[in-house]
Amino acid sequence: MADPSTAHISRVPNEILHNILSLTHDPDPLFLAPNSDFCIFALVNKRWQGVAQRELFTDVRLGYENREDAAAGIQQFHDALVANPALASLVRSIHYGSTKLAEEEIQWLAFSMTLCDNLIRFEARGWSLRNEPLLDALAAAKKLEIVELSQIGLDGVVGDALCGVSRFLDILQCWKSIRRVSLDINTIHHDLDDPDRKYPPAAHNACPLLRSIEFDPSSMFDADIIDLSHIAPSIAEFRSISCEPDAPAPRRSMPAAFKTWSASLRLVSFGDEFSASQPLTELDSSIVAVLQSSPHLHTLAISSADVAPNFLAKGFPELVALKYNLWARELRDLADALREPGSLPSLRTLTVQTRGSEVLNKAFKKRLVPLGDECRTRSIKLVVPGMRL
């Protein structure tokens, strides 16, 4: 048994003390309030204050549903960084959310970001139209590795777009270390409101480390998609969130972009409304041909409107997981495609979902039988959300 005189907590190294204190809190990624437990720990003694400050200022979480609290909170955060530059050097990530950022909040947030030389992750939810200081601060944050932006505030209200797509692509090229970018629907918009504003041409491989991108293709023109593929030619994870029904995706440029990314693509996910209910076109077939030949593509989420079941019988040599939205009448076609010699040789998990308003009724279950039999024959795990198999 340990000697009680030597087992005092003051002898525990700071790293272990931090791990012990962290057990009291499991942060919710959707809840942007700071770790209240560490706020309390900081009041215990000077040593605990140092450990707590490192936790609170390394991963800064500032979420406010009350606008007055938001304005005061972000100013207090700024003042703390100004008073103690050592705290500013600790900041690695900022998660900020409000109901809708007012101009004063944006200014304090932008001022705070400029003090954080080691900032590598930034997430913001909700903003106002007057967000130029925030855009300038983003462009100046050269070390950013992860950026997640949404104009949907913490109260669920959709705010204004952050900026035009050309401005965002210009800012994107400032982030030489960026690895992942996620833009919620309508976060950026077409440059129709300011068509004459000029930005520097897209620099080839300006973002050599960017591997994961999620955005709404309908917010871009064909030329923007091409610029994006030049800026980040090594995309491995491409996620297209659902497009607005009246704003079709720029399909003409997609085959060229995917051809640029084909050697590095590992995951591709299209939003449900990427092609709505339009029939397959020659351009769609070009996209499919690139995906079929992508040597490292292992996860694909797509609709039968983009890839008809018979197209799945060829190519996709390394595809391990397929999430497929289709009509019930296409289930037999999918089963037939799986029976083709050499089709989807690496597939281990197949998730099927119904398109549109179709329901999982008895007719659907009956049509599912041939597909289930083929999956069992090939040891493929079949998943139907909402149905117990």
| Residue 114: pLDDT band with limits 50, 70, 90 | very high
Token reading at 57: 């200022």
Q: Which residue has the higher pLDDT, 84 or 362?
A: 84
Are the CB atoms for 324 and 353 separated by under 8 Å? yes
The mean pLDDT of 275-292, rounded to a whole number, is 64
Are the CB atoms for 270 and 242 separated by under 8 Å? no
**CB-based burial label for 379 (10 Å; 0-12, 13-18, 19+):** exposed
Least confident of 18-27, 131-140, 233-242, 313-322: 18-27
| Residue 263: pLDDT band with limits 50, 70, 90 | very high
Cβ-Cβ contacts under 8 Å for 289 (sequence gap 6 or more): 255, 315
Coil, helix or strand at residue 324? strand
pTM value is 0.83
Most confident of 14-28, 122-136, 168-182, 236-250: 168-182
**CB-based burial label for 282 (10 Å; 0-12, 13-18, 19+):** exposed
